[in-house]
Each structure stands twice: as structure tokens, then as C-alpha cells.
Amino acid sequence: MDFGFTLNRNVDDITAGIGTDVLKQITKAVQSNSIESFYKIDGFCNKILMLSIENKHITHFKEYLDIVIGYYIISYEYKNNALYNKIFEICSDRSARRIRELFILLNYVFNKSKLEDKKIYNRFKLQAFNAFSQLLFEQIKRKDIQCFKLTFNQIENVFLGETISMSEFDMTLRNPAKIDTEKLKNYIEDIQTNIYVKHAILGIRYWLYFLYGNKQISLEDLTQFIRLTNQFKKRPISIEFWEMELLFNKLNSTHSTRYFNWQGWDYETHPEGESYTMPSVFDWFFCGYIIDSIQQGSIHITPHVNIDLIEVNNAPQNITLLIGTLKDKIQKIQNKDIWLEYFNKIHFNDNIKTISEQLNQISSIIEIKKANEIANEKLDINNVTEFRTKFYERWKKSKFIREIFEYFDTKKICKDKDRKLFLIGQNMFFEKAKILFLGGKHCQRIYGVEDLGAKLSHWEDDFFFQTVLKGQTEIVYPSIITGLQESIKNIKNKKYTPTIILADSTFGWMGLKTDEKWNDEKIIDSSAGSYDSIPVFFVNAGLLENRFIVADFGKAFTMLYREIENGFENELKIDIKLVSDIIAQEKLNKEPLKWKYVDGQEISEEDAITHIKTSVIVDFEVVELFEVNNSNAFEIGLIENIK
């Protein structure tokens, strides 16, 4: 049997294994055409189902619902044999009827219960609708339109004298302030049945579309089945956008990956040895939604419905993901001829255009709403501190020239206020980056921003090399070895002791490391080795390309820096500033096109300003100056003709 029965095999349950036997007995009863025995087994299953509701035992309930679906699946095998006609009819009828009859007890106990118990009974109802949907799925698989119709009728009969319209609920959600929370919670539990049945039917409809899209059923089959699901209790089924949003949240949360068993639906057995992926529910379900919407001409949108009232654990990015998914589906449908055939080309392109615009509108509204929330939220001090610390750590880790100055102890504080030092750093306008520093639900990580710290260090290195290269003439040498030997000799002749060699990193593999004077021993920790007992550093800076510097470092250079209050190591300043109205206005004037359109929709000036205010200004700087004390104490060499 290809149906995945969820049978109880828990070793801590004394009834484990009985379900498997009951299925075998059903098969036996059908095989021996014993209608009476089947009735007895059916009675037994019914008793277990009722007992499980009474004792709130969902495992047994699920197990026996599956067995009830098994009535249909088992007896279908004998459908084409005239001898078994009667028992097949009885089995397939009982299958749907049994599930429907559970609702009599379920509704009775549900209506008597308090909120906590209502939640539990809703889980049972969900399972029962799941069984219905599974039964319909099996009937589609067998293209059994007769039984499909019968099952659908039974679902309708669950709602005898009731309606599944959500309009009243829509109204309530629009004015949540008017009812108290307790009442609202009860109301939400009451409405779940309507949500479940809708999902069960939509799941089936969209699955049919998916089968057609993948050429698993013909156009005639599709129209036949779809026609049966077009109406529920003689009324068309309408789907609001917020319902889809809610469903998307449910499917995208980790808790309910098996909602309606949709994730497990597949239309063929896995071919052996071939790579194959199961259809994803996000693929087919929302594709079906778009097809339904194209048919209706537009998406139904009820404004001002706050779905957070129903589902507390909503991730704010889900709605963006949903819109992304839907847009993606529109494109896929547009490119497939099979859908043109289905829609008969009537209004196909126009409707698609309308729906795309609607989606753009929704996403721009959401963007603005989100921007508004972000713009008004205060920065989270912990996140700001964390960013600053990480920035500082990166800066500290990648500092190079500073470390050498610190090693030779030639870094000096500049107390002379009139002395002009240089400010190295940036006042950076960081677009849409405020979310980095928020504490609430909008908080998001952007990885790698702390690398700005490393960038600052490199700027400092460049600044140093600039200063040095400006202060000395370069001497051209034919090779690095001759250059170094000459320079060391020259400096020594001037009565200085060379204490450092800074060389372009390419020299490493251009003969320097193979020279006899090279030694891998590190005199200074961060150096690469030494040449002629002088520590060598390889530098990767553009300014030092093909060049090297030999210096009596302590005597040749000094570094001056200004103390910064509350800065890291008293030197590094990092500030996160909000974008003020004035700056936002300036930005808008400068780049109106960039800020005035969200998802292709033009927004008001006020919204644009809000949008800009989701950015922050990251201000980081050090104030310093490198000085050349003595140009005799160092030499710069340039190697030409590098091969």
C-alpha cells in the first residue's frame, strides 16, 4: 500500500501494533466480501475515535483516522471487480462519513469547553480536516471523481446550518480595541474550524493546479475536479490576503512543518537512482493562489487587518518573503503556455498586470510601515556597544604601522592644541542600517560590517607610507638583494643602525627568501623573518609596490596622536548617530529618484524622509600625524624590471 499510514509503534503503549492488525483485518474482510465483519470493525474504529476525543488522546485519534482513510484505499483495489462493488461502495462511503460524524461529538465537547480545552479540541478538528484532505488527495490520485464528490459533500455536511464566511471576523479584527482580550482569544479559537476547512479545500484546489501544471492530469480532469471545489455550500469561496499571510506564517514556522501533511504530498514514486526533489508546499500552494487570483481578476485585500492578533509568533520578514514568493509565481505562470490554454487567453495578461501592481502596492505599504517603525525606534544601547567593541577589536587586530611605532616606542601624544594633525576615518552614511542597532523585532544582523575597523587600519598604513614616500627620494636598484645590501651599507655609513625593513610582499618569492642572509627567525613577533639580522615586514599596500624601505625606525619617524575622550585606547572614536530631519531632507534633494520609489510605487515626501531615516551615520576616526625626523636614517629603494 503506498499510503503512509501513521501507525502507533510506541513501545511504551500497550496498544502498539493493534492498528496494523486492524488494517489487515479490514483487508481480509474486504477480500472475503464480508460486509458484516467490516461493519463490526468500523464500529470498533468509531468507538476508539470517540474514546480518544473523550480522553483527549491525539495519538490514537490520528492512528484511527488514518485507518478510516484506509477503508477507501483498501477497497479501491477491488473496485473494478463486479463482485466487490457493494463492499467498495460501503467502504468508500463510510470512510468520509466516519470522519464527518466525529464532528458531532467534537463540536459538542468544544462548545462546552473553556479556552484551554478549546485549543486542544481544535487540534483534533485539525486532524479530522487533515483526514478529509488526505482522503480527497487519495481520490484525486485515483481520478475517482464520484468518491471525491461524496467526500466533498460530507465536508459540507460538517457545517449544517452554519456558514464559513469570515466577514464578521474581518470586522472584529479591524476594531480589536472594542472587545476584551479574553473574548478575542475565545473568538479566535471558535473561528479555527472555518480556517481549517478553507485550508483543506484550498490545499486540494491548488494541488490540482499543480498536477495540471506538471502535466499529471488533463485539462478535462482539472476542470471537472475544480468545478466541484469552486463553491462551498453553494457560495463561492473567497480568500482574503491576510488569510494567506497567516497561512504563510504557519507554514514558515518551525512548529507546524506537517500542517495538513502538505509537505509530504507528491505525485509519483521516487524513481530509483535519479536525483529527485519533493514538490515544496511553498511552490505549489502559492502558485495555486495566484492562479485563483488571476481567475478572479485581483487579490482580495481587506485593509487594516492585524494578523498579529491571531498569531503571536509572526516574524516580520515573513510578509516580505510571501510577496517575493507570489511575484516569483506570477513570473512562472506567465512563462508557461499550459496556463494560457487553461485561461483561454481571456484577460490573462491584464489580470496578471493588476495582481502584480497590487503586490507592489502591498509591499510598498509594508516597507513604509516597517520604515516608520524603524525610524521611530530608539537605538539599543547593547547592540551599539557590541558594534563598537567589535569594530575596535577588528581595528586592533589589523593594525600594522601602529604596532611598529608602539614597538619602537616612538608614538607620542600631541598636547599642542595649535598643532595641526590629520583626521583619518569616515563619517559614513550607512543606508538602511538602523536595523543593526535596534533591540526589538526589527533587529537584524548584517555580517561583515565590523570589517570597517580593519579598513581604518589600512588607511592609517597608507597615510604613513604616503608621508614617508614624500620625504625621501627613491633609489633605483636592479634587484631586491642588491638594493637591500646597498641601502643597509649606506645607512650604516651614515652612522645609523638599520632596525627594520619594510618590503613589498612580492619580494618574498622574488629571491629575498632564498638569499643566504635570510633567516626565518622572527625578531619582532609580527615580522616575517629577518635579513642580515634586521626584521623584515612584507607589506601589501599599493603605495609600496616594487619598493622597500630600510630604516633606523626609532630615529627616522615619530607618530603624533591626539587624545580623544571616551575613545578606545584614548584614540579611536566610534559614534553611531541617527539621521536628523535636515540631513534626511538633504539626501532626498540630492537623490530624489532613489528615495521616492519603493517597489516601483511612488511614495509621499514624508514617507521618503521616513525611509531615509532607517539609515544611520557611523562616525569613526583617529587623529594622528606621522613625521619624518631624519631623512638620513632611512632609504627607499625601487626595483625596476621585475620579471
Partner 1 sequence: MSDSIKKEADKLLNIENPNLYESNKDRFMDFINDHNNWYIVVFCVLFIFFIMHLLDIPVLNFIPIKDDTVKNLINSRTNNIVTMISVTFAIIGFLIANLAIKESFTYNLLFKKSTFFPVAFIALSLIASFIVLSTFSDWWSIDYQSDTLLVGTYLILIVIFLIGYLFTKLVRFTNQKYILDLVEKELISESKKNLLMIGRKVISLNKITELGFYQYSMAFLIKMTKGEFVLPNDHNVISDIKIKKLRKISEKIVGKPKVFVKDIFLYREVVPNSEDGFFYLDENDYPQLKDEIKELNNCIITSKKGDQIHTEAKEYVLQKLQENISSNDEKLVESYLNMLFEMYKLQQNFKI
Cβ proximity to partner 1, 57 vs 332, nearer residue = 57
Binding of partner 1 by 314 (CB under 8 A): no
3-state class of 27 per DSSP?
A: helix
Cβ proximity to partner 1, 57 vs 432, nearer residue = 57
Q: What is the spatial distance between Cα 179 and Cα 635, in angstroms, rounded to a whole number? A: 83
Candidate list 7, 60, 62, 624; residue touching partner 1; CB under 8 A: 60
Cβ proximity to partner 1, 20 vs 296, nearer residue = 20
Residues 558 and 406: beta-carbon distance below 8 Å: no
52-60, 397-405, 451-459, 618-626 -> range binding partner 1 (CB under 8 A): 52-60
Binding of partner 1 by 43 (CB under 8 A): yes
Candidate list 6, 18, 101, 361; residue touching partner 1; CB under 8 A: 18
Binding of partner 1 by 102 (CB under 8 A): no
- Name the minimum Å distance from CB 58 to partner 1: 11
3-state class of 1 per DSSP?
A: coil
Binding of partner 1 by 171 (CB under 8 A): no
Binding of partner 1 by 478 (CB under 8 A): no
Cβ proximity to partner 1, 15 vs 146, nearer residue = 15
- Name the minimum Å distance from CB 642 to partner 1: 49
Helix/strand/coil (H/E/C) assignment for every residue in 395-410? HHHHCCHHHHHHHHCC
Binding of partner 1 by 57 (CB under 8 A): yes
Residue ranges with strand state E in 248-299:
none
Candidate list 9, 47, 353, 494; residue touching partner 1; CB under 8 A: 47
Q: What is the spatial distance between Cα 534 and Cα 357, in angstroms, rounded to a whole number? A: 70
CA angle 335, 363, 331 (to 5 degrees): 5
Q: How many CB atoms lie within 10 A of CB 184?
A: 16
Binding of partner 1 by 86 (CB under 8 A): no
Binding of partner 1 by 593 (CB under 8 A): no
Candidate list 1, 4, 9, 51; residue touching partner 1; CB under 8 A: 51
Residues 344-383 binding partner 1 (CB under 8 A) are: none
Cβ proximity to partner 1, 13 vs 101, nearer residue = 13
> 415-440 burial, b if ≥16 CB within 10 A, otherwise e?
eeeeeeebebbeeeebeebbbbbbee
13-21, 147-155, 398-406, 628-636 -> range binding partner 1 (CB under 8 A): 13-21
Candidate list 4, 32, 466, 492; residue touching partner 1; CB under 8 A: 32
Beta bridge mates, 621: 425, 573
8-16, 168-176, 292-300, 463-471 -> range binding partner 1 (CB under 8 A): 8-16
Binding of partner 1 by 55 (CB under 8 A): yes
Q: What is the spatial distance between Cα 31 and Cα 127, in angstroms, rounded to a whole number? A: 29
Candidate list 23, 29, 128, 200; residue touching partner 1; CB under 8 A: 29
Cβ proximity to partner 1, 22 vs 226, nearer residue = 22
Calculate the CA dihedral of residues 269, 272, 276, 279 and round it to 10 degrees: 10
48-56, 181-189, 422-430, 476-484 -> range binding partner 1 (CB under 8 A): 48-56
Residues 281 and 262: beta-carbon distance below 8 Å: yes
Cβ proximity to partner 1, 29 vs 368, nearer residue = 29
Residues 386 and 578: beta-carbon distance below 8 Å: no
Site size toward partner 1, by CB under 8 A:
26
Residues 6+ apart with CB under 8 A from 327: 356, 359
Q: What is the spatial distance between Cα 548 and Cα 538, in angstroms, rounded to a whole number? A: 9
Candidate list 2, 4, 9, 28; residue touching partner 1; CB under 8 A: 28
Binding of partner 1 by 582 (CB under 8 A): no
Binding of partner 1 by 185 (CB under 8 A): no
Candidate list 1, 4, 9, 40; residue touching partner 1; CB under 8 A: 40
Nearest Cα to 506, choosing from 477, 533, 535, 480?
Answer: 480
Cβ proximity to partner 1, 14 vs 312, nearer residue = 14
Binding of partner 1 by 308 (CB under 8 A): no
Cell readout for 113 is 469547553
CA distances from 568 to 303, 390, 404, 540, 623 (A): 50, 11, 19, 26, 13
15-23, 208-216, 434-442, 445-453 -> range binding partner 1 (CB under 8 A): 15-23
Cβ proximity to partner 1, 47 vs 86, nearer residue = 47
Cβ proximity to partner 1, 30 vs 305, nearer residue = 30
Binding of partner 1 by 24 (CB under 8 A): yes
Beta bridge mates, 627: 558
Binding of partner 1 by 15 (CB under 8 A): yes
β-bridge pairing 634-639 and 601-602: unpaired
Binding of partner 1 by 21 (CB under 8 A): yes
**600 conformational bin, left if phi > 0, alpha if psi -120 to 50, beta if neither:** left
Cβ proximity to partner 1, 64 vs 196, nearer residue = 64
- Name the minimum Å distance from CB 19 to partner 1: 10
Candidate list 3, 5, 6, 44; residue touching partner 1; CB under 8 A: 44
Cβ proximity to partner 1, 25 vs 585, nearer residue = 25
| H-state helical runs in 77-144 | 85-112, 115-141
Cβ-defined contacts of 408-412 (< 8 Å, 24+): 408/499, 408/553, 408/554, 409/554, 410/553, 410/554, 410/557, 410/558, 410/559, 411/558, 411/559, 411/561, 412/558, 412/559, 412/560, 412/561
Cβ proximity to partner 1, 78 vs 262, nearer residue = 78
Q: What is the spatial distance between Cα 355 and Cα 348, in angstroms, rounded to a whole number? A: 11
Binding of partner 1 by 14 (CB under 8 A): yes
Which positions touch partner 1 (CB under 8 A)?
A: 12-15, 18, 21, 24-25, 28-29, 32, 34, 36-37, 39-41, 43-44, 47-48, 51-52, 55, 57, 60
